[in-house]
Structure 1
Amino acid sequence: MTKKVTIKDIARELNTNYSTVSRALNDSPKISDATKQNVLRQAKLMGYQPNSFAQKLKKGYSNTIGLIVPRINRVFFSNVIHGVETIAKQQGFNVIICQSNESVKDEEDNVKTLLSNNVAGIIMSISKETQTQDSFQEILNNKIPFVMFDRALNNLVSNQVVNDNFKGAYEVTAHLIKQGYQKIIHFSGPLYINIYQDRLEGYKKALEDYKIAFNPNFVIENTLTKDKGIAAVEQLLKQKIDFDAIFASGDYSALGAILCLRQHEILVPEQVGVAGFANEPFTELLDITSVEQFSTDMGKSAASLLLDKIQHKDTSDQHQNIEILPQLIIRKSTQKL
């Protein structure tokens, strides 16, 4: 087994004392820039790894944060990961990434794993199964710096970084109305999650502003997968519901809707307009109208907020809510006129 390089080893190689090397590695103002560069060069050459536990004792927190996402294979969440890692790396932090697979049980296990690794703080977007804060109550109990992004529980007061989902949904619905669609179905995610409630309210407000009566039967709540989109359209057609547009609160359910409509030889956008939400890459290839959420920026904002809380040791009950403006991306699937 290779012997771990220590500060004493570096000092021996440079023919200097332990305290000089230690201060140089910790960027002490008492050490000249030339000496610091010399020490850092030698440390890198020898493969020196700092003792994370010792660093934690000195700073009062570790240099590792945790990130919990529902699904890594969604482009939205992979972009968030990129944003978080970019900011964390710039500030000397490592990131442990976990995914809940949309399972509240996995989410709870993720939290336990991160806490057992003594992370300095946690960034998290809840699973679609999460209806209470039980899965992450231990974070709150221990007053560990905590930021939620994208999805959070409606009744939870916390640091959050979210899109203006009301605005995004309002603009999609208004666009559909301006294109001549009047009977607009809304595929919603679970309404105990903030983003889906906000999107529903945006949809309803647009209908109100354009003098179209809201029909609660036009709101279909599901998990927004492709298969759920297919099943929802099949059910609408089976029940002979009269509709001419679908606003899905997720791109995969919009994709499912289009596939089902085509299977039934219903023309998109001529007979039924379809719009999604998230601007997944396939929406550009398939000409599906959607909403860009700027997920990389969301990740950067969440990381910056968390690291600010960590470094200033802020355990107060004052919470920040950062809102990112979305952008409607109009494509062929809703261009009726």
Structure 2
Amino acid sequence: MSVTIKDIAKIAGVSYSTVSKALNDSPLVKPTTKNRILKVAKEMGYEPNFAAQRLVSKQTKIIGLIWPTIERVVLSTLVTNISNEIRKTPYSMILSVEPIPASLEAFKRFQVDGVILFDENIDILIEPTTRPLLVYGVADKVNKYFPIVDPNHEQAMLEAVNYLYSDLGHTKIAYIGDFSNSDRMQMEKLKGFKKAMKHFGLSIAPHFLIDTKGLDWYDGYNAVSKLLENSNHPTAIVGGSYDISGGIIRGIKEKKLQIPNDISIISYDNIPQMANMEIPLTSIGVPVDKLAAEIVRSIIELIENKNLHPSIRKMTPELNIRKSCATIKK
């Protein structure tokens, strides 16, 4: 016979409602009482009846995440951090790498409480739904129906150019990234770079804007090789992502140029792996742990307060100075 809440209450010497609150991590139960109840429940081999809980609470305590790709290190790191954050809560997470319509339909069948959507290569207009949906991406008209956590690419590019120009003296700055019109996050970086250069009164040579046509290591490698074919080299490069910048570093070294003495590099993204590259990479972006914490906090707030109006939560990018940038040679 399975162990019930009543059995636990009898052994722990508390009421049924106190056991229920403790098992659901309610702040209304004193920590000492909660710990005692949890200990008794574990010793008795209690297993929660999720089906019964769902009937009472109308919740599954499951969050769905639509993952755009399993190939890129940055997204894998972000998803891992999101999973770690969710484990600190009463919720669980399931992933889908299917197209958005198929993912939403699957999550509907699973009756998830809310959905996190990575806004990359969205080729359909997502209509308002009764199921809470949080977007991680660019705040624009397309996503006006949903709360958005925006990593603030434009501000990140402004900080990157400001560091290279104001602090280190660079004026010949190139940008290497994916210019795909279907990916608003990548286009926001390009737009932010151009706007930042204009803000500081810096011109951009036509060949200083290189489209990688992709986000992989090899795309960055090919792009910087093309850039360096021109004798007019930049003194600094802003890379559009961690993977792209890894390829940029390899391409520069193969040309027998020194980083940072010949060319400085600063990369978008802010993950711990950037400190362990062959040349520790100066980076700009919202730290991945802070980004994950805000995404999880926001989706749970949305689930538990369904009347919450759509909002834009722009994050603050942070600059991590490492060994890939140096003051311009006079």
TM-score, with length taken from structure 2 = 0.80
What is the CA–CA distance in structure 2 between the aligned matches of 1:241 and 1:74, rounded to whole Å? 32
SS of the equivalent of 2:324 reads helix
What is the CA–CA distance in structure 1 between the aligned matches of 2:289 and 2:118, rounded to whole Å? 14
Q: Which of 146, 149, 156 matches 2:136? A: 149
What is the CA–CA distance in structure 2 between the aligned matches of 1:181 and 1:32, rounded to whole Å? 58
Q: CA deviation at 1:191?
A: 4.2
Q: CA deviation at 1:187?
A: 1.8
Aligned residue in 2 for 1:43: 41
SS of the equivalent of 1:319 reads coil
Amino acid at match of 2:233: F
Q: CA deviation at 1:227?
A: 0.3
TM-score, with length taken from structure 1 = 0.78
What is the CA–CA distance in structure 2 between the aligned matches of 1:117 and 1:85, rounded to whole Å? 18
What is the CA–CA distance in structure 2 between the aligned matches of 1:15 and 1:242, rounded to whole Å? 77
What is the CA–CA distance in structure 1 between the aligned matches of 2:184 and 2:287, rounded to whole Å? 18
Q: CA deviation at 1:229?
A: 0.5
Amino acid at match of 1:254: S
Q: CA deviation at 1:165?
A: 1.6
What is the CA–CA distance in structure 1 between the aligned matches of 2:161 and 2:33, rounded to whole Å? 62
Any unmatched runs of 5+ in structure 2?
none
Q: Which of 86, 95, 101 matches 1:97? A: 95
Aligned residue in 2 for 1:254: 245
What is the CA–CA distance in structure 1 between the aligned matches of 2:172 and 2:312, rounded to whole Å? 34
8 Å CA contact 2:208–2:227 kept in 1: the answer is no
Q: Which of 167, 175, 178 matches 2:155? A: 167
Q: CA deviation at 1:119?
A: 0.8
Alignment size in residue pairs: 316
Amino acid at match of 2:247: G
Pair 1:27 & 2:25 matched: no
Q: CA deviation at 1:319?
A: 0.8
Amino acid at match of 1:64: I
8 Å CA contact 2:153–2:285 kept in 1: the answer is no
Any unmatched runs of 5+ in structure 1?
none
Aligned residue in 2 for 1:185: 174
Q: Deviations over 1:258-289 (max 9, x none)?
A: 21121121232333222211134343231322
SS of the equivalent of 1:26 reads helix
Aligned residue in 2 for 1:195: 185
The alignment-based identity, stated in percent, is 23
- With over 3 angstroms needed to count, the CA separation of the structure-2 counterparts of 1:55 and 1:38, relative to structure 1, is same
Amino acid at match of 1:326: P
Amino acid at match of 2:21: D
Q: CA RMSD in A?
A: 3.5
Q: CA deviation at 1:35?
A: 8.9
- With over 3 angstroms needed to count, the CA separation of the structure-2 counterparts of 1:27 and 1:217, relative to structure 1, is same
Aligned residue in 2 for 1:311: 304
- With over 3 angstroms needed to count, the CA separation of the structure-2 counterparts of 1:198 and 1:266, relative to structure 1, is same
What is the CA–CA distance in structure 2 between the aligned matches of 1:253 and 1:293, rounded to whole Å? 18
What is the CA–CA distance in structure 2 between the aligned matches of 1:216 and 1:51, rounded to whole Å? 63
Aligned residue in 1 for 2:195: 205
Pair 1:326 & 2:324 matched: no
- With over 3 angstroms needed to count, the CA separation of the structure-2 counterparts of 1:113 and 1:152, relative to structure 1, is farther
What is the CA–CA distance in structure 2 between the aligned matches of 1:228 and 1:89, rounded to whole Å? 35
Q: CA deviation at 1:246?
A: 1.9
SS of the equivalent of 2:143 reads coil
